[in-house]
Structure 1
């Protein structure tokens, strides 16, 4: 069927608009991050001052009650002022968090609209080349992350997720972009939407799980309440406890494993129908299996008490790296039966 170029153009515009909105959301999320860090640091300073004041008060009590009476109002006034400052900073930070969340939802709507228009323009599902595949994966990652962050109320994670998503969208929209076109003959099968949509869903969840483990490793380096005064310590302050981040990575991996595995199995069924064999050790098949095995290894290590959580998290990070490697290097450099990147 001929491609509707007008609809394809609107799809490209909404994709670009989604990128801009996500970028604005990232800026707002960073502002929230900075202001929330300032609020946390003010609270910490207030608590330290209270401890010092309590110690000074005890010494003064030993020397005379008049000293305590003179110093107490001043200490109470300073503590109240510090508490009001911390509350004010936190309220301002929360406003930026709410704005970032609103921009994210707007970006998701635009992003989804671009995919729908892309599919309508060519009368097919919108993952027929690498540009569309990257767009679908980033869209799925944003939807899953939005649901998770909204339910858990941890907006400090947005900069950690939006940064790689924007990097993927920028690379996809510039270096990997392909004009809307009908499917190549090899993809014209009933298994095409079933296999690819399942793999994309699993990969989107897997990406969030990998990012969760990466942030968990960073937070483990700087435990909650023990952050140093360095730049990295300040970056770590707004993040939730390492246990929360570990749970996010673990629970999303539980969903990613069966969905991604089902996608591989459906691909094998399609391969038998198209090529007369279920498995041929094609580069993309092989790396997809490696990614799935690493994901299974992460869940296995995570469930064994004798393995440290840091060790299992590193397995999940390697799993994320293999998925990204499979997404770009295998599609763009190697030649195989899955060479449908649409770059030529």
Structure 2
């Protein structure tokens, strides 16, 4: 009887432990946005390590600074975008953006490895200067940071459309994973503020190099002209972003126009238009 009482008491206690307020519930599953953010962060770290390693190995293979053709420039710009993304998007609110940052980087690297690839070789005599690592590095880093700003503006415009449209469909599901529109707009603005002076300094240093190499600071070469136009567009974006009535969609479209101009300068000017800056390395 005693043992039965004890057993009953124990059983009652066990039931109380299971059903009582002290029970331990299973941990709730993580939301999809958090899982995508964690996966994106892991991929970004891997991509950053691979890109930086490829640039270093390319330098050893060519026995020079690895910025002598379009393939190497795109690799450096993508590495700058990824490394900057690891710093700028470190907050939990930005984690889902890592996945969207990888997409343009993967597209650019695919083009670099297929269309733009050039074998490791010495550069032409005009590029054998100490200005090469200074001027081109600053331009490529600025271009990589502009990539982050352009992606943020595109996602900002997508996020603005989401509350007005249906939440069904691919676009609606993507938009629900993004931060709010104000956060994306602020990210694009702050990122452009960092890239804009870098790009400007790169243009100025390029003019100094041009004076040493060609005897003039500025000759309206196609590359110089479109670079200056790109810089002016980004200046217009910063001005529009600070002007009442232009802060939302209008400023974002100007930012995207600046990024399109930069891509035009990189691909069309280098590959189609002939000029003093034609060092694509595709022939």
1:109 maps to 49
Assess if the C-alpha contact under 8 Å between 1:227 and 1:234 holds in 2: no
Give 2:242's match in structure 1, choosing from 292, 303, 307: 303
1:177 is matched with 117
Higher helix proportion (structure 1 or 2) = 1
Partner of 1:313: 252
Matched, 1:120 2:54: no
CA distance in 2, matches of 1:238, 1:85: 25
Task: Tell me, in whole angstroms, the C-alpha distance in 2 between the residues paired with 1:150 and 1:291.
Answer: 28
- CA–CA distance in 1 between the matches of 2:153 and 2:27? 30
Please, what TM-score do these two structures have when normalized by structure 2?
0.86
Which residue of structure 2 aligns with residue 229 of structure 1? Answer: 167
State the 1:158 CA deviation.
2.4
CA separation of 1:229 and 1:307: change in aligned 2, threshold 3 A: closer
> What's 2:16 paired with?
none
Take 2:44 and 2:216, find their aligned partners in 1: how far apart are those partners? 43
Q: Does 1:188 align with 2:112?
A: no
2:149–2:189 Cα contact (<8 Å) kept: yes
State yes or no: 1:139 paired with 2:111.
Answer: no
Residues 13-92 of structure 1: pairs in structure 2 closer than 5 A? 87-90=28-31
Q: Aligned residues, how many? A: 258
- Verify the 8 A CA contact 2:52 2:79 in the aligned structure 1: yes
> Please, which runs of 5 or more residues in structure 1 have no aligned partner?
1-83
Judged with a 3 Å threshold, the aligned counterparts in structure 2 of structure 1 residues 96 and 304 are, in CA distance, closer, same or farther, namely closer
Equivalent residue, structure 2, for 1:262: 201
* In 1, Cα distance between equivalents of 2:28 and 2:203: 50
Q: How does 1:94-105 map to 2 (within 5 A)?
A: 94-105=34-45
Q: What secondary structure does 2:205 align onto?
A: helix
Structure 1 residue 159, shift from structure 2 partner: 2.9
Distance of aligned partners of 1:95 and 1:240 in 2 relative to their CA distance in 1, 3 Å threshold = closer
Q: Hey, what does 2:188 align to over in structure 1?
A: 249
Contact 2:77 2:140 in 1 (8 A): yes
Give 1:258 shift: 0.6
Which consecutive unaligned segments of at least 5 residues does structure 2 have?
A: 1-24
For residues 121-160 of structure 1, what are the alpha-carbon distances to aligned partners after superposition, in whole Å with 9 as ceiling and x for unaligned? 1221111011111111111111111212223542221232
Structure 1 outlier segments of 4+, above 6 Å: none
1:145-199 CA distances to partner (integer Å, 9 max, x unpaired)? 1212223542221232111110110011011110001121010111111110111
- Taking the aligned partners of 1:334 and 1:140, their CA distance within structure 2 comes to 26
Taking the aligned partners of 1:85 and 1:245, their CA distance within structure 2 comes to: 35
TM-score norm. by structure 1 comes to 0.72
